[in-house]
Structure 1
Amino acid sequence: MAAKRYGFSQVKEHIGQHVTRDELLRLLGEGDATISMTAFEGLELADVRANGATFDQVIFRSCQFEGVDFSNCSLADVRFVGCRFIACTMERSWLNRCDFEGCSAPGLSFQKGRLTSVCFDESQLRYADFSEAAASVLAARKTALAESAWHRARLKHVLLDGCDLSRADMFGTSLEGIDLSTCDISGIVVSSTFHELRGCTVSPTQAAELVTLLGVRVSDE
């Protein structure tokens, strides 16, 4: 029996490769390109600008992106499986029904982006930047988001399961309605009024740790 896949993308699992690497580079170089109904495996791109391209019904498997600029792109029904991102950005891009599965993407920036039905599953996103992004229906499972930045992000319908959010900077972002009870939130950064934490769910152990942010000491007795 195949293992259950977590995610939102509706791209067909067995889609073939219909665009070569050279064709992809040519399309991206032209600007405002549309890349659709294709898969890439083992693709390596370095220092490439996507120039606001649209990616629709695309799978990237075991690909490496280094210094690739996906700013202002639109990605719909896209899966990244076992991919590596080095010094890449997706700022001001729209991701709709996109999945990152087993990916390494430390420092990947989604700043000022729009994320709708996006899933991060067992991925490494330490230092990722979601500042001023709008995320609606966002799921992260067993994903490292330590020291990630979420300044003034707008979050709706967010599910976090077993994620590392240690030292994540949530300044100016409401966590109301979000269950953090299975996550590591040690050292989480919030404002002096702690209003970011209002309405979120934490475990008893986490609650005891958060009390220390208020300068309150809990007796062992």
Structure 2
Amino acid sequence: MSAEITDHDLSRHQRWIVGAPDGERQERQNEIFHDLSLLKANLIGARFSHCIFYRAAFRESELNGAIFDSCKFENCTFEDCVLQDSNFIRAVFVHCTFTNGELQSCTFSECTGPDSIFASSSLTKAAFYKCQLRASVFERAKLKRTNFSGCDLRDCVFDDALAERTDFSDSDLRGASIARVQISHTYFTRCGLAGIRGKPKNPESAVITGADCSEQFDGSALVAADRVIASGR
């Protein structure tokens, strides 16, 4: 990913992102933003294309409806931010965290972000399509009607999360931890579940269809549910 190196002056970027009129900050392409520390920034509806964010800290900021197309984020944090209806398209995340965020209906398409952290974030109706998220952390996250489709979720940590009507279709969950996850009407269709770890907390139902439960799969991890529908089809 390449980007034109522009003026890196911190105050200049701060003024543009926080204080400029909407029309001046609607779209940015091929720019690098680094060492930003933004509190309560307004990025509603903004669009970034082929930009790089390096050591950027967003706190209590609003990014509703923002679009990040082919952007790279390295050592970035989103803390207590609102990203409802935002879109990340082919984004790359390196050592990034989303904590206590509101990511309802947020979409991640073909993104790469191993070791990303989504701890304690609300991901209601969020969608992850063909994302590489190995060893990422979704601890205590709210996964209501969240869709993980064709994702690499190997070794991810979902401990203490809420998975309600969550769909993991065609995703690889081998080695993932689901300790104390509250599972309700969640679907594991054509998933890799070998070596999955931990027991869910008071699970209500799980539907496992055409999944790989071989090797060190702990049968009690998901079969502990009150109503499990398992099928080899």
TM-score of the alignment, normalized to the shorter chain, above 0.5: yes
Give the aligned partner of residue 149 of structure 2: 141
What whole-Å deviation, never above 9, does each CA across 1:14-47 have from its counterpart, x for those lacking one?
Answer: xx972448x9969x64511111222111110111
**Percent identical residues:** 21
Normalised by the length of structure 2, the TM-score is 0.75
| Backbone CA RMSD of aligned residues | 2.8
Contact 2:194/2:214 (CA < 8 Å) preserved in 1? no
User: Separation in 1 of the partners of 2:86 and 2:61?
Assistant: 13
**What code does the residue aligned with 1:199 have?**
S
Give the corresponding residue for 1:94. Answer: 102
Q: Distance in 1 between matches of 2:188 and 2:208?
A: 5
Q: 1:107·1:129 contact (CA, 8 Å) conserved in 2?
A: yes
Instruction: Name stretches of at least 5 consecutive residues in structure 1 with no aligned partner.
Output: 1-15, 215-221
Q: Specify the alignment match of 1:186 in structure 2.
A: 194
Q: Does 2:192 correspond to 1:173? A: no
Where do 1:31-70 residues align within 5 Å? 31-70=39-78
The answer on whether the counterparts of 2:170 and 2:191 sit within 8 Å (CA) in structure 1 is: yes
Amino acid at match of 2:133: L
- C-alpha distance in 2 between matches for 1:93 and 1:143: 21
Cα displacement (A) at 1:181: 3.2
Cα separation, partners in 2 of 1:148 and 1:84, compared to 1, 3 Å: same
Counterpart residue type for residue 207 of structure 2: T
Query: Are 2:109 and 1:127 equivalent residues in the alignment?
Result: no
Q: Which residue of 174, 181, 202 corresponds with 2:208?
A: 202
Question: Relative to 1, partners in 2 of residues 1:206 and 1:55: Cα closer, same or farther, differing over 3 Å?
Answer: same
Q: Is the 2:183–2:202 Cα contact (8 Å) retained in structure 1? A: yes
Distance 1:190 1:29, change over 3 A: closer
The equivalences for 1:153-168 within 5 A come to 153-168=161-176
| Greater relative contact order structure (CA < 8 Å, 6+ sep) | 1
Tell me how far 1:199 sits from its aligned partner.
Answer: 2.5
For the pair 1:73 / 2:67, whether they are aligned, the reply is no
What corresponds to 1:103 in structure 2? 111
Aligned residue type for 1:178: T
- Conserved? CA contact 2:115–2:137, under 8 Å: yes
SS of match in other structure, 1:49: strand
Which amino acid is the alignment partner of residue 193 of structure 2?
Answer: I
Residue type of the partner of 1:85?
A: F
Which amino acid in the other structure matches residue 101 of structure 1? S
- Deviation, 1:58, is 1.1
What's the CA shift for 1:160?
A: 1.4
Q: 1:196 to 1:124 in 2, by over 3 A?
A: farther
